[in-house]
Amino acid sequence: MMNKICVVTGATSGIGLETAKSLALKGAFVIVVGRNKKKCSATVKQIRQLTEASLVDYVCADLSDLKQVYHLAKILKEKYDRIDVLVNNAGAYFKSQRYESVDGYEMTFALNYLSPFLLTSLLIDLLKESDQGRIINVSSDAHYKGTIQLDDLQSKQEYNGFNAYAQSKLALVLFTYELARRLKGTNITVNALHPGLVATNFGKNNGWLRFYIRRLVMRNEINASEGSTTSIYLATSPDVANITGSYFKDEKEVKSSEDSYDQKLATQLWEVGEMLTNIPS
């Protein structure tokens, strides 16, 4: 990974932080993306202490705000001539209440799907400048329970936190496969993964519910370092250099949900993504 330029979103805690640290320790130049400037700065300081080198930088952006996603891409294009690895790790789960982003979109869908859809689309040209660009989308096995409600992607009719989360993660897998098809014949691979049930700050906004759920599943939880292994594997391993359009779990290629292979649905969802993010088709 020497001299590779890697962008990791949601990199100030949990899986994202462990992914960023590991990539830097392997010699990559890592760009940390987070929404809190103090946390970004602290993360950079922590990684520099570990690596004893200046192989890390940060850009602040609230990825639920599409204007900030555009601005993030603009900064990256101005500062770097290529990107070798993009890890779309940022995400959230809003269990008990429906929130809207500044753009007026349901927050789960905005952050977990529209944000990586837009950021990836804006950075494709930089990834093409790499000898072998890699896009890694951190999804979840929750996608197996997901259903794409094209007539109500914003969950306005009825909000259920888990359903919204599962839908967003299924959308991310559909995006992964559709992007892989569209990038066929290029030097870029794109894959999705399930990190495992990780004991991090993810979902801490859900208060008592998080505490209750964690008590139920504590025996199956893994730590953030363990949860980052598949992301790191997809970002670094020569074994997957030519694999694209796949879903991984525990560093192994596995079958995703039946709905995730629906190419018509993927195309429809792509068109919705372009419309909602104002990307020229």
Tokens 């730590």 correspond to 223
How far apart CA 116 and CA 38 sit, in angstroms, is 23
How far apart CA 84 and CA 52 sit, in angstroms, is 22
* C-beta contacts of 73-76 below 8 A and 24+ residues apart: 73/119, 73/122, 73/123, 76/7, 76/31, 76/123, 76/126
How far apart CA 240 and CA 231 sit, in angstroms, is 12
144 is catalytic: no
* Catalytic annotation, pick one of 165, 177, 233, 247: 165
DSSP string across 43-56: HHHHHHHHHTS--E
Element (H, E) at 179: helix 161-182
Please give the positions annotated as active site: 165
